[in-house]
Chains A and B, each alone.
Chain A
Amino acid sequence: MLSMNDAVLVEGLRAGDGAAFETLLDRYGGKLLRLARRFCESEEDARDALQDAMVAVFKSIGNFESNSMLSTWLHRIVVNACLMKLRSKRRRGDEIDIEDYLPRFQEDGHQVEPSEPWAESAQSMLERDELRALVRDSIARLPENYRTVLQLRDIEEMSTEEVAEVLGITTNAVKIRLHRARQALRALLDEQLKS
């Protein structure tokens, strides 16, 4: 459901009012550019994706359904613009096969390779630039379907329902992909942090 402020804004956008676009960028531009920065591989790509997304908003505002949340609809358009940008640049082999990074079990249900704790806490690791970069690089290696869900749920902290709406998938698919994405990311980090 639209707030009163957003309802007025959508009305202005539909009327092609230039001031309404300035308000839109003022109200949501920061969050949307931050989202694009997290999805894209460079600042330039993030800015391009935001620009592409805003043109898409301009062209499709007539299709926006007023019983939806404006912010969720904007997120969907920005995520799609970012994925288009990424797909045009990614090479085959950049992404892992997720099955190779999921835990394996013996017939009796025990783990094939017993897990071990990491020597350092996450909070302590986050204080180091090279480890933050390692985490970002590892996230970038996840297959798109999984990476996107992890970014929206665990990084953007959107709800399962919001992510399902942004991506046009079921809440159950969001839950399954998120768990598998976390498991694969854990395995990618484990390779580096155990040694």
Chain B
Amino acid sequence: MIVCREVIAFLDDYVAEALPPPRRSEFDHHLTVCPSCVAYLATYRETIVLARGSAVEIEDVPPEVITAILATIARN
């Protein structure tokens, strides 16, 4: 019977579906009886979504930046 410490220590592998099936079954069973780990797992997953979604997405390079870089390289 695994406990919260082991579940949380390997939660990244659980989320990535990288655990071998017998180990994953142990995790799944623990999650049916431990509301705290269920909440930890849910907020761990939401943390990943929040990190990804909070990033600035602008991808343009303003022409003046390109001009400045090329001028600097030409001086070097």
Interface membership of A175, Cβ < 8 A: yes
Interface string of A20-60 (1 = CB under 8 A from B): 01100100011101100110000000010011001100110
- The interface of chain B, by Cβ under 8 A from chain A, is 3-6, 8, 11-12, 35-40, 42-61, 65-66, 68-70, 72-74, 76
- Do residues A111 and B51 form an inter-chain contact, with CB atoms below 8 A? no
Asked, given contacts A30-B61, A103-B8, whether A55 binds B47 with beta carbons under 8 Å apart, the answer is no
The tally of residues in A whose CB lies under 8 Å from a CB in B reads 53
The answer to whether B65 touches A115 (Cβ under 8 A) is no
B61 touches A33 (CB 8 A): yes
Q: Is the CB of B65 within 8 A of A50?
A: yes
Q: Given A111-B4, A117-B43: A38 and B56 within 8 A (CB)? A: yes
Contact flags (1/0) for A125-160 with B, using CB distance below 8 Å?
A: 110000111011001000000000010001101000
Q: Given A34-B58, A175-B12, check contact A58 B53 (CB 8 Å).
A: no
Q: DSSP majority for the A interface?
A: helix
Contact: B59 with A34, CB < 8 Å?
yes
**Beta-carbon contacts of A100-131 to B below 8 Å, as 1s and 0s?**
00010100111100111110011101100001
Q: Is B61 touching A117 in the complex (CB atoms < 8 A)?
A: no
Q: A115-B37, A179-B11 are in contact. Are A105 and B49 (CB under 8 A)?
A: no
Nearest-Cβ distance from residue A152 to partner chain B, whole angstroms: 11
Q: Are B73 and A21 in contact (CB under 8 A)?
A: yes
Contact call A118/B54, Cβ cutoff below 8 A: no
Q: Chain A's nearest CB lies how many Å from the CB of B11?
A: 7
Give every chain A residue within 8 A of B44 (Cβ-Cβ). 182-183, 186
Using CB atoms, name the residue of chain B closest to A134.
Answer: B54
Residues on the B chain within 8 Å of A29, using CB: 61, 65-66
Instruction: Give chain B residues whose Cβ lies under 8 Å from the Cβ of A31.
Output: 59
A168 at the interface (CB under 8 A from B): no
The answer to whether B74 touches A18 (Cβ under 8 A) is yes
A111 → B minimal CB distance (Å): 5
Interface pairs (24), CB distance under 8 Å: A21-B70, A22-B70, A34-B57, A34-B58, A47-B65, A50-B69, A105-B5, A109-B6, A110-B36, A111-B8, A115-B36, A117-B38, A117-B42, A118-B43, A118-B46, A122-B45, A123-B53, A139-B51, A139-B54, A154-B48, A154-B52, A182-B44, A185-B51, A186-B44
